[in-house]
Copies of this chain bind each other. A is one copy, B any other.
Amino acid sequence: MTDKTTDTLSEEELNARHADKMRKKKAARDKIMATKTIEKGLVIVNTGKGKGKSTAGFGIIFRSLGHGHRVGVVQFVKGRIDTGERLALQRFHDLVTIKRMGEGFTWETQDRQRDIAAARQAWEAAKEMITSGDYRMVLCDELNIVLRYDYLDIAEVVDFLKNDKPEDVHVVITGRNAKDELIEVADLVTDMTQVKHPFRSGVKPQEGIEF
């Protein structure tokens, strides 16, 4: 073997080294992937303070729609300006069912009893979609918000996901402050961490970005 550092290598040697390294990576990756054989409906949670939780939730919905799967969307919090997603979903009206519950962000309504009733109604709609056999994937957008305020009992939601969710249905749950009990029962959890946000430099919410 040579002791040459990268600096003294010719372009040809660099290419050869690269090819060798990549060959090993591919072999390692292929070996790992061969062990992943279980197919099952996942409980996916997008949480954290950063942007992208609902955006990625809708992204995965669009991916599923692309494959021609039927999907359901339940929005637990209304009032979020989400016109773009709703308009985009209209092009898939043959495949998607949307239930929009809730009366707006809680700090817009200031009515706890109404919010609790709306959360209950949305959860009943979500359960019905998930168990119906009609949908491959159901997005519970901002469910974490109502769980955080205890408008819905986390134990009830976890029990349903564990025992009543059909094996082949994916459930995607978004919203900041996901409860530990939900993370425990989930298969895939991502925390969207805010590194930098334009609101901090005076930029306003813009069409196509925030809504």
Q: Give A residues with C-beta under 8 Å from B.
A: 14-15, 18-19, 22-23, 25-26, 29, 32-33, 35-40, 42, 44-48, 50-52, 54-60, 62-69, 82-92, 106-113, 136-137, 170, 180, 183-184, 186-199, 201-211
Contacts and interface: CB of A to CB of B under 8 A. Distances in A.
Contact of A88 (B48, B51, B65, B209): B65
A63 B67 contact: no
Contacts of A211: 63, 180, 183
A193 B193 contact: yes
Nearest to A42: B198
Given A110-B18, A188-B197, A83 B67 contact: yes
A55 B63 CA distance: 8
Contacts of A56: 51-52, 55-56, 59, 192
Contacts of A47: 195
Contacts of A86: 66
Contact of A190 (B22, B192, B209): B192
A201 B189 contact: no
Contact of A184 (B23, B25, B88, B204): B204
15 contacts: A15-B111, A22-B107, A29-B107, A32-B199, A35-B202, A40-B203, A52-B56, A55-B56, A56-B192, A57-B59, A62-B84, A66-B83, A67-B207, A184-B204, A190-B195
